[in-house]
Amino acid sequence: MVKSEGLAALSYFVSSGNEAMVIDPRRDSDIYKHLAKENGAEIVHIFETHRNEDYVTGSLELKRIVPDARVGHSNQTNFDYGDDRLADNESFNIGKMRVTCIQTPGHTNDSICYAVADLSVGAEPIIAFTGDTLFVNEVGRTDLVDIKKHQEMSLKLYDSLHNKLLRIGDGVIIYPGHGAGSVCGGDIGEREISTIGFEKANNSWLKMTQEEFVTSKIHQRLTRAPYFKHCERLNTIGPPILADLPKPKELDVEELSRLLLEDRHRAIDTRSSDEFLQMHIPNSISLSISNMGRLAGLALRHHQMFSIILRNDHDNFLLASAMLHRIGFDNIVGYIKNGLAQWIASGRETGCIEDLSLEQFGLRQTRREVKVIDVRESHEFDEKHVEDSLSIPLTRLEEDGKNLKIDGPITTFCNSGHRSTTAASILKRQGHENITVSLDGMKVWKSHDFPLEKE
């Protein structure tokens, strides 16, 4: 299993004898080459479970590394790349494995699962790679293909689950396409693997009647990030090869200063939220390296160009750029080592944002001395929110923040302080000056019994 942190995307390398396959590879694909070498196997097949919308597939990147491997995906979408258009029940032998394709439309029309049998034991499947059809404790979302087809896709998913996937055997181990924290499910379990039988017994979605399932799906509200359609497009036509992109260069302070004045440019500060609030380069955007994978696609836009402000470690640049490439944000112009230190040494001004303690925030909010902007998603806000707060999700702040008309202080707010710090940095870049953040967030607010309201 290969995990892409932040996106909670799971891909898989599976070998048998001297042959191997990879399921849903990520774009930074060298890791699969290393796994093949460690296992003394040659990657012969690269399988995709569907046209992903939350990250860019690495199939072409991996095929560049292993040219003889065959890329396969469902025949239900007209992909502009790949070798095999896979039909329902089509099978492949890889070493002593037999891989059988199970078309499971619902999350997308081209969703496909792969059931794997160990032929040295028998012909029945022992594991299945379920993509975004079935997760631990969850099933795939059905709202992304076309919201007007929400009911139709929900019916398809119900049929795919009950009349296809769940029939392959209770003892079959499932390996889903995402783990906990992914935007592709509402409540994916912390465990990363399960079995068909365990999910049938414990997954509430699988216990519903068809009518209950469809109704619940239609009323399920999940994050719809602006970059999803961009990923869908790249995953249809085939994303550019990373080696063919312009190589980012090391920047100096003068170059960064010029870039900061450009409307399309975003300088990404990868330090922690605490460090950013204390001191930062003006007009930079806070996306800590630990949260960048999760938040970049919510806060940034694919048409923008990016530079990355580092503390000093070049490895952080490689990780940060990989996180951007995984969602198709490819216009990375450069990076600056020792970014803030260089900036200060040049004599330039720095910025800061006040972090309000819970007590300070509670007092100011009670007196209505600040306007609270809740940057969580709308469904989170509707469940419970601070009194008299304004809902502007981080996913919409880039556009909506420009037209925001508030006289007086603003405090950004979320569950744990990470989204609110990113939001505050965006608002400051847009010209809003009197901004504070409450890093304690909703989780701590609730624990202290401060007043809340719901829609």
Domains with residue ranges and CATH for the chain = 2-232 (3.60.15.10), 245-345 (3.40.250.10), 354-453 (3.40.250.10)
What does the alpha-carbon distance between residue 192 and residue 8 come to, in Å, rounded to a whole number?
10
Average pLDDT over residues 358-372: 87
Average pLDDT over residues 43-71: 96
Tokens of 162: 């009950």
The whole-number pLDDT of residue 365 equals 85
Give SS3 for 337: coil
pLDDT at 452 over 90: no
What does the alpha-carbon distance between residue 392 and residue 12 come to, in Å, rounded to a whole number?
37
The whole-number pLDDT of residue 23 equals 98
Q: How many residues does the chain have?
A: 455
Question: 162: which residues sit within 8 A by CB, 6+ positions away?
Answer: 206
- Angstrom distances, CA of residue 381 to CA of 11, 81, 307: 32, 41, 32
Average pLDDT over residues 238-267: 95
Could you tell me if 54 and 184 are in contact, meaning their C-beta atoms sit under 8 angstroms apart?
yes
pLDDT at 48 over 90: yes
| 8-state DSSP, 205 | G
The whole-number pLDDT of residue 314 equals 64
What does the alpha-carbon distance between residue 279 and residue 351 come to, in Å, rounded to a whole number?
6
Q: What is the pLDDT of residues 117-141, one digit of tens each?
A: 999 999 999 999 999 999 999 999 9
Residue of 143, 134, 189 whose CA lies nearest to 379: 143
> What's the mean per-residue pLDDT of the chain?
93
The whole-number pLDDT of residue 181 equals 84
Average pLDDT over residues 39-58: 96
pLDDT at 315 over 80: no
21: confidence class by pLDDT, cuts 50, 70, 90 = very high
Could you tell me if 8 and 179 are in contact, meaning their C-beta atoms sit under 8 angstroms apart?
yes
312 or 416: which carries more pLDDT confidence?
416
The whole-number pLDDT of residue 451 equals 64
CA 258: distance to chain centroid? Answer: 31
The whole-number pLDDT of residue 252 equals 93
Within a 13 Å sphere around the CA of 401, how many CA atoms are in the beta-carbon half? 25
Could you tell me if 140 and 111 are in contact, meaning their C-beta atoms sit under 8 angstroms apart?
yes
Against a cut of 0.85, is the pTM above it?
Answer: yes
What does the alpha-carbon distance between residue 73 and residue 48 come to, in Å, rounded to a whole number?
5
The whole-number pLDDT of residue 455 equals 60
Q: What is the pLDDT of residues 194-242, one digit of tens each?
A: 999 999 999 999 999 999 999 999 999 898 899 999 999 999 999 999 9
26 or 453: which carries more pLDDT confidence?
26
Termini Cα distance of the chain: 41
- Angstrom distances, CA of residue 118 to CA of 14, 96, 126: 12, 6, 7
The whole-number pLDDT of residue 185 equals 82
Q: What is the pLDDT of residues 141-177, one digit of tens each?
A: 999 988 899 999 999 999 999 999 999 999 999 999 9
What does the alpha-carbon distance between residue 117 and residue 109 come to, in Å, rounded to a whole number?
25
Pairing between strand 265-269 and 249-250? unpaired
The whole-number pLDDT of residue 407 equals 81
| Matching residue, tokens 């925001």 | 404
| Matching residue, tokens 């999700």 | 393
Element (H, E) at 163: helix 150-163
